[in-house]
A and B are shown apart, each in its own frame.
Chain A
Amino acid sequence: MSNTQDHIQDDNQIDSYRRKLLGGGAALAGAAALGSGVFFTSIARAKPDAEPASSEIRWGFLIDTNKCADNCDKCVTACNDEFNLTGFGRPETDAQWIRTVTLRDKKTGHTTKLPLMCQHCAHPPCVDVCPTGASFKRPDGIVLVDKHTCIGCRYCMIACPYKARSFVHETIENQKEYGPRGKGTVESCTLCVHRVDKGEIPACAEACPEKAILFGNMNDANSDIARRMASTVSTEIRGDLRLDLGVRYQGI
């Protein structure tokens, strides 16, 4: 197993990701390296620390709304716990990086429930409008806010078609080591970039008891996410805007 590991380290990145997902032994090695022991929560081996994020990869979610249970908000709780988005008991100004949304068809009465977060667009309006370039997209498609240069103008919040962003309205003192957040800057779902870079999957996807949130590399034809996208219908929210989203939904 260690031989496989070494062999993969030497290989180029895309191949190694692919091999991981194809080969059972490699996948096991990946799972072992993570120490999680749960096969389907691993995406691949951890990216070597010194290696930058690759533009060959497009991280994303495929969310099956049919699986999303009625009274469940485990993805939301997991996200809140992951980043200590505990709130101040003021729902209008408290941050929400992920929320569950209930849709009811006005004609038929049919209801659907889905989790909604930053859609990690390939052409993000928030990045377009940001005056200082603090909103940016990583090479692997993850849209983030550089809080070092965010001036708190909130233009990105005006521009986001999904209302995915929150402004920090008060002083924060309970930050996680991997999740800096502070008063006067804008924030949103990071696709758990700190986990993804270690080879783990985002907290919401891990927490979903129904496995409704599938995480993976959309560019890799052999990944679970790409295969499921190829075999079933999935749509983008506000696909008319042609933003090429990193989050797709089934069942809406």
Chain B
Amino acid sequence: MKPTTFREITGNSKGYYMLLALLGLTVAAGLGSAWYMEHNGHWVTGMNNQIVWGMPHVFAVFLIVAASGALNVASMSSVFGKTSYKPLAPLSGLMAITLLTGGLMVLVLDLGRPDRLIVAMTTYNFKSIFAWNMILYNGFFLIVGIYLWTMMQRNLNQYSKTAGFFAFLWRLALTTGTGSIFGFIVARQFYDAAIMAPMFIVMSFAFGLAFFLIFLLAAYKWTGREIGSYLINRLQKLLGLFIAAVLLFVVIFHLTNLYVTQHHGVEDFILAGDNIYSGLFWVGYLLLGTIFPLIICYTSAFRASIGWTTAAAILVIAGGLSQMYIIIIGGQAFPLDMFPGKEVSSSFYDGVIVTYSPTAPEVMLGLGGVALAFAATLFAVKILRFLPLSLANAKIDPHHSAQG
């Protein structure tokens, strides 16, 4: 195999600029929403004293989890030695950074006092998993940045394997930290589970790859560069594997809860309640986000199809957002178990299932984060050499020449 040639995309078509403008407008709308929320106070959102984390957190956590997962394609080559993924490693690192940027933008702009970001960056309580996450996020930028540098500057290439290995370890720590935000919460029935950390890691594999696939396939389709069936097929199978792994963790998580009598209430609420969470679980997560994409990934009829693979990736993202909504919002909507065996009532919504109706600004802020991630990626591939000129089978498949 000859070394891969990377080139900037031309990026001067009408379509490119229209896409960039659309994403830019979405980012602007997100920023405007954040300003509106901060100016008026959070009462203009659907969040309240019962549902304290809302749509911004669904998007933020989703993007942060996806960010660490986007690095996975790079890790496949640098850590696990799968050379066919090597040409994709720079884009993988880039998307890890842009997705994290998008997620953090949402998270930070939703704070009650975003003006005090400097306090969050300088004052740490080391018992807080949240404080650890801030270190993990900042470190992730640094380490992935170094990893990209070693990949993109030829005389540093020799270090890229080592950098890739550390980036891989760091991303595992990062997602462990993100999952533990919920796993360490003893107060709430739906959290307080160590499995949250590994479940988030596996979720990150699937979400990250889905984002990566959407960008990669669209970029190659629209720039007219070649991407061969061999690579698409492999990525398809990999996505399928990750979806199945997430399903395993979800099943274990719910089975454990269903076994323990104390948790029957919350399981009943999430899985069989007359509410949005049950719908999101069975239709959003299981049918759309798991079964459909699994069929696409593993049925020969859809093999190596750019369109169907993109569809599978979009479905995984829809399923992932459903999952995040169930965990973050559903976990808060179910009442705290303060008085076992008692019906509880008060003026502060004790003992009742609370409702959450997100308002437009908070959804816009979340979408703004997604748009920022894509806009930054789109811009970066125009100014720097992230994308290989060709991903045709001859360039990727180690056995291709032997067959030919």
Please say whether the chains A and B touch (CB closer than 8 A).
yes
Query: Which B residues have a C-beta under 8 Å from some C-beta of A?
Result: 38, 40-43, 48-50, 52-53, 111-114, 116-117, 119-120, 123-125, 127-131, 133-134, 181, 184-188, 332, 336-339, 341-350
8 Å CB contacts to B: which residues of A138-181?
A: 149-155, 157-163, 165-171
In whole angstroms, what is the CA distance A171 to B38 when docked?
Answer: 10
A106 touches B346 (CB 8 A): no
B111, A99: Cβ atoms closer than 8 Å: no
Q: Contacts A106-B342, A167-B42, A167-B112 known; A131 to B347 CB distance under 8 Å?
A: no
Q: Are A161 and B187 in contact (CB under 8 A)?
A: yes
| Closest B residue by C-beta to A101 | B346
Chain A nearest Cβ from B94, distance in angstroms = 28
| Chain A window 167-203, contacts with chain B (Cβ cutoff 8 Å), 1 for yes, 0 for no | 1111100000000000111100000000000000000
Q: Collect the chain B residues with CB atoms within 8 Å of residue A228's CB.
A: none
A131 to B134, CA, bound (A): 9
Cα distance A101–B339 in the bound complex, in angstroms: 11
Most chain A CB within 10 A, of B123, B133, B336, is at B123
- Are A151 and B48 CB-contacts (below 8 A) given A101-B350, A162-B338? no
Contact of B125 among A112, A131, A186, A241 (CB under 8 A): A131
In the complex, the answer to whether A163 meets B336 with C-beta atoms within 8 Å is: yes
Interface string of A71-88 (1 = CB under 8 A from B): 000000000000000001
Residue pair A184, B186 in contact (C-beta under 8 Å): no
Q: Are B125 and A132 in contact (CB under 8 A)?
A: yes
Q: Cβ of B114: which chain A residues have Cβ within 8 Å of it? A: 151
B128 touching A184 by the CB < 8 A rule?
Answer: no
Most buried by A among B127, B128, B336: B128
Which of A31-39, A42-50, A54-62, A90-98 forms contacts with chain B? A90-98
Question: A170 and B41 in contact (CB under 8 A), knowing A99-B347, A101-B344, A158-B188?
Answer: yes
Q: Which 5 A-B pairs have the closest CB atoms?
A: A152-B112, A184-B112, A161-B187, A170-B41, A169-B43
Complex Cα–Cα for A18 and B253 (A)? 53
CB nearest neighbor in B for A100: B346
B119 close to A151 (CB less than 8 A): yes
Partner of B119 from A96, A125, A149, A171 at Cβ < 8 Å: A149
CA distance A130 to B343 in the complex (A): 31
Q: Are B112 and A161 in contact (CB under 8 A)?
A: no
Q: What residues on B are CB-neighbors of A132 within 8 Å?
A: 119-120, 123-125, 131
A21 CB to closest chain B CB (Å) equals: 32
A-B contact pairs, 25 of them (CB 8 A): A95-B49, A102-B345, A103-B343, A104-B342, A104-B343, A105-B343, A107-B341, A116-B350, A128-B127, A128-B128, A131-B128, A133-B124, A149-B123, A152-B112, A163-B50, A163-B350, A167-B49, A167-B112, A168-B41, A168-B112, A169-B41, A169-B48, A171-B41, A184-B112, A238-B337
Partner of B111, one of A96, A129, A151: A151
Inter-chain CA distance A163–B332, complex, in Å, is 11
Contact of B131 with A131 in the complex, beta carbons under 8 Å: yes
Please, how many angstroms separate the alpha-carbon atoms of A184 and B350 in the complex? 23
Give CA–CA (A90, B119) in the complex, Å: 31
Contact B346–A166 (Cβ < 8 Å): no
Whether the Cβ atoms of A161 and B186 lie closer than 8 Å is yes
CA distance A129 to B344 in the complex (A): 27
In the bound complex, residues from chain A placing their C-beta under 8 Å from that of B348 are 96, 99, 101, 163
CB atoms of B130 and A88 under 8 A apart: no
The winner among A130, A185, A237 for most chain B CB atoms within 10 A is A130
Q: How far is the CA of A170 from the CA of B130 in the complex (A)?
A: 25
In the complex formed, the residue of B with least CB distance to A102 is B345
Most buried by A among B123, B129, B347, B348: B348
Q: How far is the CA of A129 from the CA of B133 in the complex (A)?
A: 12
Contact across chains for B113 and A184 when beta carbons are under 8 A apart: yes
The answer to the question of A252 belonging to the interface, with a C-beta cut-off of 8 Å to chain B, is yes
Query: Which residues from A are CB-within-8-Å of B42?
Result: 93, 167, 169, 184
Which residues of A sit under 8 angstroms from B124, Cβ to Cβ? 131-133
In the bound assembly, the distance between CA atoms of A100 and B351 in angstroms comes to: 13
Please pick, from A93, A99, A158, the residue contacting B187 in the complex, using a CB distance under 8 A.
A158
Chain A, Cβ-Cβ closest to B49: A166
> In the complex, what residues of A have CB within 8 A of residue B186's CB?
125, 159, 161, 241
Asked if A88 and B43 make an inter-chain contact with CB atoms under 8 angstroms apart, the answer reads yes
CA–CA, A186 to B338, complex, Å? 21
* Least CB separation from B122: chain A residue: A132
In the complex, which residues of chain B have a beta carbon less than 8 angstroms from the beta carbon of A105?
341-343
Bound together, the chains give a CA A167 to CA B350 distance in angstroms of: 17
Q: How far is the CB of B321 from chain A (nearest CB, A)?
A: 20
* CB–CB A99/B332 < 8 A: no
> Apart from A92-B49, A158-B332, what 15 extra A-B contacts exist at CB < 8 Å?
A92-B48, A101-B345, A132-B123, A149-B119, A150-B113, A153-B120, A155-B128, A157-B49, A158-B52, A158-B187, A160-B187, A161-B338, A183-B112, A184-B42, A237-B338
Q: In the complex, how many angstroms separate the beta carbon of A143 from the nearest chain B beta carbon?
A: 14
Q: Please state if A183 and B185 are interface contacts (CB–CB under 8 Å).
A: no
A169, B312: Cα distance in complex, Å: 40
The smallest C-beta distance from B196 to any residue of chain A, in angstroms, reads 13
**Residues in chain A near residue B50, CB distance under 8 A:** 92, 163
* Closest chain A residue to B131, Cβ basis: A131
Query: Taking A88-B43, A102-B344 as contacts, is the C-beta distance between A153 and B111 under 8 angstroms?
Result: yes
